[in-house]
Structure 1
Amino acid sequence: MSLAVVYSRASVGIDAPLVTIEVHLANGLPAFNLVGLAAAAVRESKERVRSALINSGFEFPAKRITVNLAPADLPKEGGRFDLAIAIGIIAACGLLPDTDLSQYEMVGELALTGQIRTVCGALPFNYACTNAKRIALLPLQNADEALLVNNSQVFGVTSLSDLYLHLSGRKRLTPSEHKRVECQHDYQADMADIKGQQLAKRALEISAAGMHNILFCGPPGTGKTMLAKRLMTLLPPMDQQQALQTATIRSVAGQPIDLTKWTQRPFRQPHHTASSIALVGGGSNPKPGEISLAHHGVLFLDELPEFERHVLDVLREPMEAGKISISRAAKHVCFPAQFQLVAAMNPSPTGALHDGRSTSEQVLRYINRISTPFLDRIDLQVDVPKLSSKELFAGNDDQQESSKQIRIRVLGAHQQQYQRANKSNAQLNTQELDTYCVLSSADQRFMQTSMEQLGLSMRSYHRTIKVARTIADLASCQHIQRKHLSEALSYRALDNIIQQLK
């Protein structure tokens, strides 16, 4: 009897749990049995491994082969275990007598020729492998992605025969090296490109400073999409941990990672025909959706009322929790989803509010496509009016601020927030609001009256206080003042439209 043990890792959400692959060769009628809650793609690895071994110059053992993928209750999917199974069979045949396989973890799908194909989730695989203090063996095409993990040992492998020669000591592979790539944060767009719309620009600055959700409401062609896309130019860069989390999600989703831009915040813009699963993630084998791909970045929803109402409502919980939990019969996964929502919409089904083509009932029906609980989670509702002909045809204004100039103020506000609470204002909980957003008695009465007049919910009230705290930070004020509260309350454009129409 011969037994070999090889280590690999599964892919569950953004985690990579350890899978121990035990290969046992015994006398008896030739057979190849694979056990351990393997999905169809894993069971099919028997034929891929058989052909890869033969075409790589190995003799396939005419014995009873049993491969156990432990733990047995962990679902295994995909072809990522092919390489480990093949090496386990080689080791069980006694072809690697002097090799300590316990120091390695390997992942890779085998072609029938013995070549090694890429897999999804190489980044979380190497992160877990590094924490376990083992050496990662994975496809060469995945090496650069895996090396985003600091202090990791990675060998990029192209074929099964090359890996065998390396493990047997006959021909060592060269360790993959960490590439020092200068990350680029050059944006083609700039705030100075937008004419007029000073109120909307101010609101966008507040949104960037406090990481607040924002909604632009105005007729077609007023610059709502331009404003939304320029939010990226105002946000501070991600730190190393945030960038690694974002890259991990892309890795699990099977999307390429550009090493020159991997520290740049993501910007996702799904079409209004997107399904709820496309937005939040899911499927029989749960994959991250748009909200997770926008983690630490921006999710832009254009033409907001055109989205199905139930599709928007599935965003409510992740907007509060910063994560999405997906439960299936066989597994439960959790993806991070701490995104900043930017939305744009027309105020009426015909485009403009007072164009004479829509009645008040039609406008209200159009706005009511968006549920009130969803709107409650948007901090800033900004009116983007149509520009006058004078503003539209005006020449370049030397006083137009660039994104770089505004970003300096945004970074200053961010520093104040993290020094005070170690988080952005949009993420403050109720207890932290009571600590860092104290109002005077007169201001409390002012806010109480405003809530009654505007019909604000308690959630909207708390979000208004957070916006006022951000406005105070931009002005370098230690305490929230009445003018900050008044400005925060002025960014309730949709509430004002509804009040006028009722």
Structure 2
Amino acid sequence: MTVSVLSAALAGIDAALITVETRICPGLGYNIVGLAGEAVRESLYRVESAVSTVDLQMPRQKMLVSLAPAGLRKDGAFFDLPIALGILAASGQLDPERLSGYLFTGELSLNGKLRPVRGALSMAIEAQKMGCKGMIVPGSNAQEAAVVKNLKVYGFDELAGVLAFLNGGTVEPTEVKELISPQPALYAADMADVKGQAEVKRVLEIMAAGGHNGLLSGPPGSGKSMLAARLPGILPPLTLAEALETTQVHSVAGLLDQTGLLLQRPFRAPHHTASDIAMVGGGSVPMPGEISLAHHGVLFLDELPEFKRRVLEVLRQPLEERKILISRANFSASFPANFVLLAAMNPCPCGYFGHPSRKCTCTFAAIHRYRHRISGPLLDRIDLQVNVLPADLSDGQVLESSAVIRARVVAARQRQQQRLSSVACNALLNTAMVKEFCKLDAQSNALLQAAMVQHKLSARSYERILKVARTIADLAGSAAILLPHLAEAIGLRQLAG
């Protein structure tokens, strides 16, 4: 007798439907086929121990478990539960009809407990697409999977509970506590805590409003890291679609440390010793890297020149395409990477070049070598580049909170959404959109042409300046890009020195 049980495997941040077929026939031995990884092949040992805890028995006959489609690689312990149920149904200890229409996933411990798995949200999305009537997951994954509409999700902490439910027990499906917060959750770091630095705060506001990349260059102690930590607090709230994607990435990476959706935009700050694989993702079983974990959030690279050149260069393509494709000999995986890049650096090795009161001890050759650790093509992809000087702590200016700045950012994003249909913010405009929505009058066009010649800017820089100018106009509530908007965008493009 052959029994089929539905499960799922991960492919990037998406899930693919897997049919676990179990057949018991004369002979001895356990076999799993279908391009199964080591963790999958070991599942029979966990299944045998778990089944013994519910007073049932593994059949002492030849068992063949096939994971279809056979050409898709399967890794991880997702299939412990469906394999156990398939064996019990094939051996006559469970009614096979009870398994119909459900998707099962879960890792079994030796004592029959169900352990959480990665990617439960992606599997739930796939189950809903395939028309499954329900999904059975470990209890720790229930809230995560239950955010998918029109899918009943049942969470259990042990195999015994699953069997009781399948044998006619009554269990209510998991209810989602909260889909998405109407207001962004409060961040601990607030802009009102930072005195001075009005120009840098303005740059961060433009970054948040248009989704642009930025670079802060300044001496130690000028507040670069402090300001960077406050950028997530002025970004607009996550939409439901963005929250789903962000949660998917973190779930696949096994980093989801809460139930339900992620409600805050991620802020990733890898150390400068990070490898290129840690940054973009990969491994024998492809996992998301830092750029994907920062999806719909901020990737902060402090001490930018200290990162290995190879690590920085792998950022160039994701910054353009907003995704990363990891290819291996037999398969490939695509991960999203739509993030805001914020980098910080010292102006020289000692850190005090251009400081108003401290003398720089570096030679010009040392400064040149230090700055050229960052390639021109990477700098060309950074829209806003500003010098940060030590703050004047006696400055009596009124300090705005993150909430006040965020309100202006949200208003600017709403203007962009009313104007655009296929992209979320100005930074994502393609060439055709730039021509349509970033038109200049004759005086502004002459200024931009002069800046292109004077600063020897590339065609990419030309478009990025226009995008930033469009964002500045949106913050000002202007339907057209005016000369002051363009002048500010040009002034924020080049580092001094």
- TM-score, normalised to structure 2, is 0.95
| 2:95 pairs with one of 94, 97, 118 | 97
Aligned to 1:459: 460
Structure 2 counterparts to residues 49-448 of structure 1, below 5 A = 49-97=47-95, 99-134=97-132, 135-169=134-168, 171-180=169-178, 183=181, 185-259=185-259, 262-354=262-354, 355-387=359-391, 391-393=392-394, 397=396, 399-422=398-421, 423-448=424-449
User: What is the CA distance between 1:445 and its match in structure 2?
Assistant: 2.5
Instruction: Describe the shift of the 1:324–1:435 C-alpha distance in structure 2 as closer, same or farther (beyond 3 A).
Output: same
CA deviations on 1:8-58 (whole Å, 9 max, x unpaired) are 00111111101101111112x222111111111111112222222223211
SS at structure 1 position matched to 2:15: coil
Instruction: Describe the shift of the 1:3–1:181 C-alpha distance in structure 2 as closer, same or farther (beyond 3 A).
Output: closer
Alpha-carbon distance in structure 1 between the residues aligned to 2:48 and 2:191: 59
User: What is the CA distance between 1:259 and its match in structure 2?
Assistant: 4.5
CA deviations on 1:49-75 (whole Å, 9 max, x unpaired) are 222222321122121211111001010
Alpha-carbon distance in structure 2 between the residues aligned to 1:385 and 1:341: 21
Alpha-carbon distance in structure 1 between the residues aligned to 2:7 and 2:51: 19
CA deviations on 1:95-133 (whole Å, 9 max, x unpaired) are 333734221110111112222211111111111112223
SS at structure 1 position matched to 2:58: coil
Instruction: Describe the shift of the 1:127–1:261 C-alpha distance in structure 2 as closer, same or farther (beyond 3 A).
Output: closer
User: What is the CA distance between 1:401 and its match in structure 2?
Assistant: 1.9
CA deviations on 1:433-484 (whole Å, 9 max, x unpaired) are 1000111233223212111111211111111111111111111111112211
User: What is the CA distance between 1:153 and its match in structure 2?
Assistant: 0.6
Amino acid at match of 2:308: E
SS at structure 2 position matched to 1:392: coil
Amino acid at match of 2:484: K
Alpha-carbon distance in structure 1 between the residues aligned to 2:198 and 2:448: 26
Greater shift after overlay, 427-436 or 438-447?
438-447
Instruction: Describe the shift of the 1:195–1:493 C-alpha distance in structure 2 as closer, same or farther (beyond 3 A).
Output: farther
Structure 2 counterparts to residues 19-58 of structure 1, below 5 A = 19-27=18-26, 29-58=27-56
Amino acid at match of 1:489: I
CA contact (8 A) 2:8 2:17 kept: yes
SS at structure 1 position matched to 2:251: helix
Greater shift after overlay, 214-223 or 439-448?
439-448
SS at structure 1 position matched to 2:103: strand
CA deviations on 1:131-177 (whole Å, 9 max, x unpaired) are 223211111111122122233211112222222222122x3334222
Instruction: Describe the shift of the 1:58–1:261 C-alpha distance in structure 2 as closer, same or farther (beyond 3 A).
Output: closer
Alpha-carbon distance in structure 2 between the residues aligned to 1:153 and 1:353: 61
Alpha-carbon distance in structure 2 between the residues aligned to 1:158 and 1:223: 47
Instruction: Describe the shift of the 1:352–1:246 C-alpha distance in structure 2 as closer, same or farther (beyond 3 A).
Output: same
Instruction: Describe the shift of the 1:98–1:358 C-alpha distance in structure 2 as closer, same or farther (beyond 3 A).
Output: closer
Instruction: Describe the shift of the 1:460–1:98 C-alpha distance in structure 2 as closer, same or farther (beyond 3 A).
Output: closer
CA contact (8 A) 1:19 1:71 kept: yes
User: What is the CA distance between 1:356 and its match in structure 2?
Assistant: 3.5
Alpha-carbon distance in structure 2 between the residues aligned to 1:455 and 1:98: 71
Amino acid at match of 1:70: A
Amino acid at match of 2:483: R
Instruction: Describe the shift of the 1:427–1:314 C-alpha distance in structure 2 as closer, same or farther (beyond 3 A).
Output: same
CA contact (8 A) 2:143 2:260 kept: no
CA deviations on 1:59-96 (whole Å, 9 max, x unpaired) are 22121211111001010111110111110111111233
Instruction: Describe the shift of the 1:98–1:32 C-alpha distance in structure 2 as closer, same or farther (beyond 3 A).
Output: closer
**Structure 1 unmatched ranges of 5 or more:** 498-502
Amino acid at match of 1:372: G
Instruction: Describe the shift of the 1:70–1:217 C-alpha distance in structure 2 as closer, same or farther (beyond 3 A).
Output: same
Amino acid at match of 2:265: R
SS at structure 1 position matched to 2:14: coil
Aligned to 1:500: none
CA contact (8 A) 2:119 2:248 kept: yes
SS at structure 2 position matched to 1:30: coil
Match status 1:482 vs 2:483: yes
The number of residue pairs the alignment matches comes to 488
Alpha-carbon distance in structure 2 between the residues aligned to 1:191 and 1:76: 47
**Structure 2 unmatched ranges of 5 or more:** none
CA contact (8 A) 2:179 2:261 kept: no
Instruction: Describe the shift of the 1:129–1:403 C-alpha distance in structure 2 as closer, same or farther (beyond 3 A).
Output: same
CA contact (8 A) 1:228 1:300 kept: yes
SS at structure 1 position matched to 2:200: helix
User: Over the residues paired in the alignment, what is the CA RMSD in angstroms?
Assistant: 1.7
CA contact (8 A) 2:279 2:290 kept: yes
